[in-house]
Amino acid sequence: MTGRHVQVRRLITADDFRSHVSSLGVELPFDPAPDVAGLSAPFRFGPLHVGNRFAILPMEGWDGTARGGPTDLVRRRWRRFGRSGAKLIWGGEATAVRYDGRANPRQLVLTSETAGGIEGLRDDLVREHRGRFGSDAGLVVGLQLTHSGRWARPDGQPRPRIAYRHPVLDARVGADETSLLTDAELDDLVGDFVRAARLAREIGFDFVDVKCCHGYLGHELLSAHTRPGLYGGDLSGRSRFVCSTVEAIRASTPDLPVGVRLSLFDFAPHDSEGEGGHEAGRFAFGGDGTGAGVDLSEPNALLEALAEAGAVAVCVSAGSPYYCPHVQRPAYFPPSDGYPPPEDPLVGVARLVEAAAAVKARHPRLAVVGSGYSYLQEWLAHVASAVVTRGGVDAVGIGRMALSYPDLPARTSSPGSVSTGDGSAARSAIARRRHATVSSRAAIHSTSTTATCPAGRTSHGRSAARGR
């Protein structure tokens, strides 16, 4: 299917880009001359002030220590985040609240044992930012807290802890009745999030993110229609875990703001050919029941409840990298364990941009951070500028792009650094980014660290991080 789509890098001029978007039948806001002042303007994040409109999104690392602490590769990644120019570091890295919640045996875990090393990550990031830009004013650094649930692989093998029995996904991880978390276990897990949040505050983080996206436990509970008891059934039951967690963190640590990274909508699991199983569409939170459409009624109700519980911000994502990656992170080339994209990736970008704008319009109390922008490549600044200046989001989140081109926020904040539509500056930006990517890969491959990937593959000599 990929061969039928036009790669965004082949859209050389602004007219090429806009014409292609129009041919797809979708809309993407676009500024021919990006508003650098608008992208550099501050915004409120609860009680905090963020210095510009760029955020670095959290990614799941596969290169920590066996005990869940950082290595040199992790520290290097965080230093690059500090030099990026983004003023909001949304979560930094997916960090498990306990060992059985890791998605891989090298993921970070926040415990009293690892707290010093994770504190050092934040300190390194702030130091790098201050060194490059002269000040850390307006820099806000959070930590994402997670339990991987169904996708837990704390020792490299599937050790699923599930919210309910799923007709398609159980077989993928070998889940059965013994994998089900009880209500009492979920009650205890709320306490684990509270403990980790308190520790995050003690080591200097400005906020925490309660992860509720990408098929991990917080997200899966939102679709637990068939689960009996306190944590399933209607939306009040299905959202009990995340709302209780936010409320309990706020009660325990009142001076610590809380955000939620949320898969705002989901699609049915797709197979290796990119076909979705519509019979599982009823389990897609934020879906329209078909497995391939969006209905934001329940997500909007959830966001109202989260705001009442004390959340100050939401980072909008969608889907899951495990069963519908084209929805979560639009890309021309699929992940190695994925499938050819069933739609032009720009359709996925437009879907995420539109959903985030709808949420922003509906929930003025919440700061809203968007995602899905990396595929835009040299046109990212043009779309980001238009979305921000039209009030579609408060900040534009950068995930994969932050790994290959970490300087993007700083460069975009410099007048004349982005194309005005004639193509010449765009091609220059491509060359700069490709050079940065090659340099980054060369530096990464100069190491000898081995990281184990979730699917059992081994990644030799690279900094293993993935936007999950």
Distance, in Å, from the CA atom of 364 to the CA atom of 368, rounded to the nearest integer, reads 9
Mean pLDDT confidence for 251-274: 93
DSSP letter for each residue of 321-384:
TTT-HHHHS--SSPPTTS---SS-HHHHHHHHHHHHHHHHHH-TTSEEEE---GGGGGGHHHHH
Which pTM value belongs to this model? 0.90
Distances in Å between the Cα of 185 and the Cα atoms of 123, 149, 217, 228 are 34, 12, 12, 14
Strands 465-466 vs 60-61: parallel, antiparallel or unpaired: antiparallel
SS3 458: strand
pLDDT of residue 414: 65
Give the pLDDT score at 325. 95
| CA trace torsion 96, 446, 54, 415 (10° rounding) | 170
pLDDT digits (tens, 9 = 90+) for 402-421: 988 999 999 987 665 555 55
Tell how far CA 418 is from the center of its chain: 25
pLDDT at 317 (0 to 100):
98
| Residue 73 pLDDT grade (very low, low, confident, very high; cuts 50, 70, 90) | very high
Provide DSSP, 102-171.
-SSTTS-B-STTTHHHHHHHHHHHHHHHHHHHS--TT-EEEEEEE--GGG--TTSS----BSS--TTHHH
- pLDDT of 439 strictly over 80: no
User: What does the pLDDT read at residue 275?
Assistant: 73
Contact 168/277 with Cβ under 8 angstroms? yes
Q: How is residue 107 written in tokens?
A: 């993921």
Tokens describing residue 244: 């209780």
Q: What is the pLDDT of residue 336?
A: 83
- Give the separation between CA 242 and CA 163, rounded to whole angstroms: 13
Using one digit for the tens of pLDDT, what is the confidence trace for 289-331? 999 999 999 999 999 999 999 999 999 999 999 999 999 999 9
Task: Give the mean pLDDT of 54-68.
Answer: 96
Rounded Cα–Cα distance for residues 351 and 357 (Å): 10
Summarised one tens digit per residue, pLDDT across range 120-140 is 999 999 999 999 999 999 999
Quote the mean pLDDT of the chain: 89
pLDDT of residue 416: 56
φ and ψ at 43, to 5 degrees?
A: -150, 165
Q: Is the pLDDT of residue 433 over 80?
A: no
Summarised one tens digit per residue, pLDDT across range 195-211 is: 999 999 999 999 999 99
Q: Is 19 left (phi over 0), alpha (psi -120 to 50) or beta?
A: alpha
Helix (H/G/I), strand (E/B), else coil: 180: strand
Whether the per-residue pLDDT at 144 is higher than 50: the answer is yes
Flag whether pLDDT at 253 surpasses 60.
yes
Q: Which sign, positive or negative, has the C-alpha torsion 32, 43, 367, 61?
A: positive
Around Cβ 81, how many Cβ atoms within 10 Å? 26
Task: Give the model's pLDDT for residue 400.
Answer: 85
DSSP assignments along 77-96, one per residue: HHHHHHHT--SEESSSBEEE
Measure the CA–CA gap between 144 and 57, rounded to whole angstroms.
10
User: What does the buried/exposed string (b/e) look like for 121-143 if buried means 16 or more CB atoms within 10 Å of the residue's CB?
Assistant: bbebbbebbeeebeebebbbbbb
What are 208-251's pLDDT values in tens digits? 999 999 999 999 999 999 999 999 999 999 999 999 999 999 99
Q: How far is CA 251 from CA 242, 245, 312, 421, in A?
A: 14, 10, 14, 51
Cα distance between residue 266 and residue 273, in whole Å: 18
Instruction: Note the CATH architecture for domain 2-466.
Output: Alpha-Beta Barrel (3.20)
Q: What is the pLDDT of residue 323?
A: 95
| pLDDT at residue 97 in the model | 98
Would you state the pLDDT for residue 445?
Answer: 29
Residue 392 is predicted with a pLDDT of: 98
pLDDT (tens digit, 9 = 90+) per residue, 321-358? 999 999 999 999 988 888 999 999 999 999 999 999 99
Helices (H) and strands (E) in the chain, counts: 16, 15
Mean pLDDT of 440-448: 31
Pairing of strands 458-460, 450-452: antiparallel
* Residues contacting residue 421 through CB under 8 Å, at least 6 positions apart: 13, 14, 15, 32, 33
Element (H, E) at 263: strand 258-263
Phi, psi of 94 (to 5 degrees): -65, 115
SS3 276: strand
In this structure, which amino acid lies at residue 134?
G
